[in-house]
């Protein structure tokens, strides 16, 4: 009996190690596609508006991919999906390297990446999250999701380090080959796994039905809708900051890819740090969320006025700690307030709104920065975070008044 139990435990342990090793390799490559490509856009064009347009198109392409693949992710082999996404990204990066090496126009390469780069990443991430129940038993699902988050952040740190080294020393072509090798290695591991990470998912009502039901629920629960928008605010700010920071590094700090890669690595380090403390803190509408929003807004305001490398790296680390902590706490709090039968549908609506807002704001801020520089971009982000602060205070006040009346 003990022998059988040991064999089962060893198999589970082996499956877990294979799962996270495959995720780690693919995550590094896909993050190169985020960090390295953003620097390539600003470095090759010198225009924040083009980087903003690139981000907007990428987000819209990702949104379309999620809608198109939602039922595919639910009802097909997740191991196979992750494998094909890994190999697909590897081919895309290799093709990008060949195009750049053969002298293809930068704008053509940017347009191609805008349409093809992000969809593979979001489908892979969604399939990876859905595969966790096949790797871990129910009591350990929270830990499994935390480990995936850590894997993603470590991937982001490794990608930032590779961007700093390869782009700074060897150029964009070498960086793309590094991304191709990393995602190819992940694909090989997923192919070796065969169907080890598959898990039968419940039947889906389809994205149209989910969106419709989610809209009806949130329309009736207006406070939850407001809170849901606050929940996604840090994610929107982090996404749009990817438009501001490359131009800030190149034009305000007058630094290169090494500094940009280092900054991304430090932000990811801050986000990892937040994972250690955020789960222990209380959730709710309370003062803590308002304080974290205030600190985040302070970081953005400081960056608007700062022109020193030390100040930039310090503020980026604090922003990583605070904003990642906000995401963890706000998501946990929102999930506690929404009935389980409506949670997926409510999140589907809010995620759709979030992606559209990110796309619109990315393009708008890119244009704004071509006229007002990084000062204008960071001041806009400061204003958005202050809106989150005001929203938290209003909800906290309304909650206290409800308790007094009752």
**Higher pLDDT pick, 94 / 391:** 94
pLDDT in tens, 52-63: 888 888 888 887
Mean pLDDT of 221-247: 81
pLDDT in tens, 381-401: 999 899 888 888 877 665 554
Residue 220: pLDDT over 70:
yes
Has domain 205-400 been given CATH number 1.20.1250.20?
yes
Confidence of residue 402 (pLDDT cuts 50, 70, 90): very low
Kindly report the number of other CB atoms within 10 A of residue 224's CB atom.
19
**Higher pLDDT pick, 10 / 366:** 366
> Mean pLDDT lowest for which of 221-230, 245-254, 307-316, 328-337?
328-337
Mean pLDDT of 227-254: 84
| Tokens standing for residue 258 | 């090494």
> Mean pLDDT lowest for which of 109-118, 139-148, 285-294?
139-148
CATH architecture of 1-204: Up-down Bundle (1.20)
Q: Is 219 exposed, middle or buried (0-12, 13-18, 19+ CB in 10 A)?
A: exposed
Which of 360, 162, 391, 154 lies closest to 260, judged by CA? 162
Mean pLDDT of 68-84: 69
Domain coordinates in residue numbering, the chain: 1-204, 205-400
Average pLDDT, the chain: 77
How far apart CA 333 and CA 178 sit, in angstroms, is 39
Which of 65, 158, 165, 173 lies closest to 114, judged by CA? 65
| Tokens standing for residue 151 | 């894997």
pLDDT in tens, 1-41: 444 444 444 455 667 778 888 888 888 888 888 878 888 88
How far apart CA 97 and CA 111 sit, in angstroms, is 15
Residues 6+ apart with CB under 8 A from 405: none
* Most confidently predicted of 52-61, 85-94, 149-158, 326-335: 85-94
Confidence of residue 403 (pLDDT cuts 50, 70, 90): very low
Confidence of residue 68 (pLDDT cuts 50, 70, 90): low
């Amino acid at each position: 009996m003990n022998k059988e139990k040991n064999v089962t435990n060893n198999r589970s342990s082996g499956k877990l190690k294979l799962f996270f090793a495959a995720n780690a390799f693919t995550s590094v490559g896909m993050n190169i596609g985020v960090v390295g490509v953003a620097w390539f856009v600003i470095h090759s064009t010198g225009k924040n508006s083009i980087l903003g347009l690139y981000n907007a198109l990428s987000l819209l392409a990702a949104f379309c991919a999620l809608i198109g693949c939602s039922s595919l992710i639910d009802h097909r082999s997740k191991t196979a999906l992750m494998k094909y996404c890994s190999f697909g990204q590897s081919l895309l990066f290799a093709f990008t390297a060949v195009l750049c090496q053969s002298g293809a126009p930068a704008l053509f390469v940017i347009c191609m990446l805008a349409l093809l780069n992000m969809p593979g990443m979001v489908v892979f991430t969604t399939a990876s999250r859905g595969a966790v129940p096949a790797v871990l038993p129910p009591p350990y699902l929270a830990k499994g999701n935390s480990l995936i988050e850590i894997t993603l952040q470590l991937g982001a740190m490794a990608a930032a380090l590779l961007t700093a080294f390869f782009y700074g020393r060897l150029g964009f072509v070498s960086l793309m080959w590094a991304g191709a090798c990393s995602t190819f290695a992940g694909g090989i591991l997923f192919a070796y796994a065969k169907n080890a990470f598959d898990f039968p998912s419940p039947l889906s009502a389809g994205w149209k039905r989910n969106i419709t039901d989610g809209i009806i629920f949130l329309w009736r629960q207006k406070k939850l809708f407001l809170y849901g928008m606050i929940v996604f605010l840090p994610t929107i700010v982090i996404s749009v900051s990817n438009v501001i920071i490359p131009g800030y590094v190149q034009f305000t700090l007058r630094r290169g890819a090494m500094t940009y890669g280092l900054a991304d690595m430090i932000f990811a380090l801050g986000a990892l740090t937040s994972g250690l403390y955020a789960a222990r803190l209380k959730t709710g509408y309370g003062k803590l969320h308002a304080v974290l929003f205030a600190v985040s807004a302070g970081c953005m305001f400081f960056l608007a006025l700062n022109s020193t490398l030390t100040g930039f790296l310090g503020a980026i680390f604090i922003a990583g700690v605070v904003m990642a902590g906000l995401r963890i706490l706000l998501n946990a709090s929102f999930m506690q307030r929404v009935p389980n039968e409506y949670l997926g549908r409510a999140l589907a609506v809010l995620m759709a709104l979030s992606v559209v807002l990110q796309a619109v704001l990315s393009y708008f801020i890119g244009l704004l920065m071509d006229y007002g520089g990084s000062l204008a971009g960071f001041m806009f982000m400061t204003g958005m975070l202050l809106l989150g602060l005001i929203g938290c205070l209003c909800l906290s006040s309304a909650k206290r008044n409800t308790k007094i009346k009752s």
